[in-house]
A and B are shown apart, each in its own frame.
Chain A
């Protein structure tokens, strides 16, 4: 199993896809932190919640972590490398598990880079504008570690979702639509259901106090639940269907 995870990590490292995603993530986080930090008034950056929003922008890394997870799986189907992969490891559950683990580990890297960047830049902007730092130590730890765990789990969710769907374009579109269209709509219309969507569960984990969100602990359980559910769906599909 460790050997299989090493092989999957080599797949992540040996193409330019991952570096491309990392660069895209860095650019997007830079842009959002700069826009939010420089265009907001001093008043709207002074409460704990305001500063959580600014310093939590690094959690956007979750999108890229999930995309990396999706691509780790769907590029195998797109380019046919799934055939040699399964020929070398016919136990499909083992391949899936290794991909989920590798995507989670890759997610930790995405999270570490994204969080470090978002946090450092946000903090620099706050102090540069002379705004008093409002978060205490506990808030800070929760914001950073919560985001890191969430971002890592997004990688696992991406890999599980992609194993269920197989198709690369379909996987990417499903992921983005789910995260940026379906979940916000659901949260807006039926918050009691929408708060169980992974993006809102992650908001609760990092300590955001938007109305209707779950408690941080419940949010964490929900995120892990999504990762397990999607991996289980992937396993069910993969055991049933022939390798293309």
Chain B
């Protein structure tokens, strides 16, 4: 199947500053991709070029084979949220959706549907002024979903969400991608998206520094999982059976390298070993960045 999104040598210069530097990647349909990097790395600028809001200085970005602006009614194929605060405070959430929908022939009933989908049907007729940040995030998502898109592009959608909201978003994105639809979600916090995404694109200072599946990235970084269990010997054997090396740590602990806490938990469960503690170590984005940029320089 053709790629849903292709970036070809995408470059954006603001005067002297090179915000996005020769970025190339492609996203396969049906995948969830985390677009990661610290604040100011060029994530939003990249997404803005992808969505036709900003013109690239060089290169181009294609969505479903065309530039965004070339697509006829792109909002019926691509749903996007760039800022969680892009609402007129004096307008109701429902009217916000209606005014956007009317421009592309989406009926008002669809506005009510997406409000229900993001659990805002109660608040829909109230002014956005009174919405919490989490409610605004969900209204943004409702905006993106209006046109029943096949591709979602979300910039920092987990900002301002409480843990319950983050889980809701994760489940939502999983369900969205499960029937062949594609998600590109940016974040400056790896932990926020680690449990959601299939693959990651990591950029730093406008350049792509990593493009890989989450497992490959974890393995490449030698990310380790610390686990404390009732029977470390049996767990070590079960892990070895799955080709994961572990080293003893304290009395009941093991350090497992090259995997995720999810995988270790699943193996322990399958082996019937009770787990008392399960911690992923060394997976903060900063550490990954240090690894990756150090790797680039050597």
Contact B99 A79 (CB under 8 A): no
Complex contact B74–A90 (CB within 8 A): yes
Interface contact A86-B52, CB-CB below 8 Å? yes
Please give, as numbers and ranges, the residues of chain B lying within 8 Å of A88 by CB-CB distance. 75, 100, 103-104, 147
**24 contacts across the A-B interface (CB closer than 8 A):** A3-B104, A3-B105, A10-B102, A11-B91, A14-B91, A15-B88, A15-B90, A17-B90, A80-B85, A80-B87, A81-B86, A81-B87, A81-B88, A84-B86, A84-B100, A86-B52, A87-B52, A88-B100, A88-B147, A89-B104, A90-B69, A90-B71, A242-B48, A242-B53
**Contacting residues, chain B, for A16 (C-beta < 8 A):** 90
A14 & B102 in contact (Cβ 8 Å cutoff): no
* CB neighbours of B102 from chain A (8 A): 3, 6-7, 10
Q: How far is the CB of B5 from chain A (nearest CB, A)?
A: 15
- Interface residues in A40-70 by Cβ distance below 8 A to B read none
Residues in A neighbouring B68, C-beta threshold 8 A: 90
How close is B223's CB to chain A, nearest CB, in angstroms?
36
Within 8 A of B (CB), among A188-244: 242-243
The one of A4, A15, A80 in contact with B86, judged by C-beta atoms closer than 8 angstroms, is A80
Contact A87 B95 (CB under 8 A): no
Does residue B143 face the partner (Cβ distance < 8 Å to A)? yes
Asked whether B90 lies within 8 Å of A83 as measured between CB atoms, the reply is no
**Chain B residue nearest in CB terms to A13:** B95
Please classify the interface of chain A as helix (H, G, I), strand (E, B), loop, or mixed, using the class held by over half of its residues.
helix
Please name all residues of chain A whose beta carbon is closer than 8 Å to the beta carbon of B95 when the two chains form the complex. Answer: 10, 14
Q: A16-B90, A75-B88, A90-B68 are in contact. Are A83 and B53 (CB under 8 A)?
A: yes
Cβ contacts under 8 Å, B7 to chain A: none
**What's the tally of chain B residues with a CB closer than 8 Å to chain A?**
33
Contacts of B51 in A (CB 8 A): 87
Q: How far is the CA of A3 from the CA of B147 in the complex (A)?
A: 15
Give complex CA distance A91, B71 in Å. Answer: 10
Report, as a range, how many residues of chain A touch the other chain.
20 to 34
Given contacts A14-B95, A242-B54, 19 further A-B contacts (CB under 8 A): A14-B91, A14-B98, A15-B88, A79-B85, A80-B83, A80-B85, A81-B86, A81-B87, A81-B88, A83-B53, A83-B82, A85-B100, A86-B52, A87-B52, A87-B53, A88-B100, A88-B147, A91-B69, A243-B48
Mark each residue of chain B from 256 to 284: 1 if its CB lies under 8 Å from any CB of chain A, else 0. Answer: 00000000000000000000000000000
Question: Which residue in chain B gives the minimum CB-CB distance to A91?
Answer: B69
- A89–chain B nearest beta-carbon distance, Å: 5
Complex contact B74–A79 (CB within 8 A): no
Inside 8 A of B20's CB, which chain A residues have their CB?
none
Q: What residues of chain A lie closer than 8 Å to B75, measured between beta carbons?
A: 87-88
- What CA separation (Å) do A243 and B68 show in the bound complex? 14
Min CB distance A151 to B, Å, is 24
Chain B residue nearest to A10 in the complex (CB): B99
Complex formed: what's the CA distance from A81 to B98 in Å?
Answer: 13
Q: Closest chain A residue to B90 by CB distance? A: A15
Residues of chain A within 8 A (CB-CB) of B86 are 79-81, 83-84
User: Could you mark each residue 127-165 of chain B with 1 if its beta carbon is under 8 Å from any beta carbon of chain A, else 0?
Assistant: 000000000000000010001000000000000000000
- B103 contacts which chain A residues (CB < 8 A)? 3-4, 6-7, 85, 88-89
Determine the chain B residues whose CB is within 8 A of the CB of A80 once the complex forms.
Answer: 83, 85-87
Q: Does B92 contact A (CB under 8 A)?
A: yes
Which residues from A are CB-within-8-Å of B99?
Answer: 7, 10-11, 14
Whole-angstrom CA separation of A89 from B69 in the bound complex: 8
Interface string of B31-59 (1 = CB under 8 A from A): 00000000000000000100111110000
A156 CB, min distance to chain B CBs, angstroms: 19
Complex CA–CA separation, A242 to B54 (angstroms): 5
* Contact for B88 among A4, A79, A83, A243, CB less than 8 A: A79
Q: Are A86 and B105 closer than 8 Å at their CB atoms?
A: no
Q: List the 6 shortest-distance A-B pairs measured between CB atoms, nearest first.
A: A80-B86, A7-B103, A14-B95, A242-B54, A90-B69, A243-B53
Q: Which partner residue on chain A sits nearest B12 by CB separation? A: A242
**Chain A stretch 1-42: residues in CB contact (< 8 A) with chain B:** 3-4, 6-7, 10-11, 14-17
| Interface: B224 (CB within 8 A) | no
Residues of B within 8 A of A11 (CB): 91, 99
Chain A residues, Cβ within 8 Å of B80: 87
